[in-house]
Each structure stands twice: as C-alpha cells, then as structure tokens.
Amino acid sequence: MASPGKRAFLLRVKPEVLDAVERLAADELRSVNAQLEVLIREGLAKRGRMKG
C-alpha cells in the first residue's frame, strides 16, 4: 500500500540495475524506494523538468 500522498506503480528493471541501486541505497542509508525517488528527482531536475 502506498504512503499517503504517494502513488504506487510496478517497475521492472534488470537485476544488475537493481543491485546497483540497492548498493547505493545502503551506502546512503536510504531504502531502495527512497533512493529511486532521489535518482528520479535528480534526473528530472537535470533535464529541467522539475525544480531541484
């Protein structure tokens, strides 16, 4: 179940991508979900799609 104010969706990625995200999340003391949100926000900000 999604947290209030958040939407849930299914994401399929290659195992090596998920492994890299899991390692990065552990290094930064974040959950995988929180790490994915950070990476998505950074990518959107870099492309001018979101203030960051």
Q: What's the predicted TM-score (pTM) here?
A: 0.86
pLDDT in tens, 9-47: 999 999 999 999 999 999 999 999 999 999 999 999 999
Predicted confidence (pLDDT) at residue 52 exceeds the cutoff of 70: no
Contacts of residue 28, Cβ cutoff 8 Å, sequence gap at least 6: 35, 38
Whole-angstrom CA distances from 44 to 28, 29, 31, 36, 50 are 20, 22, 20, 12, 5
Domain ranges of the chain: 15-46
Residue 1: half-sphere exposure toward Cβ, Cα within 13 Å: 2
Q: What is the DSSP string of 2-46?
A: PPTT---------HHHHHHHHHHHHHTT--HHHHHHHHHHHHHHH
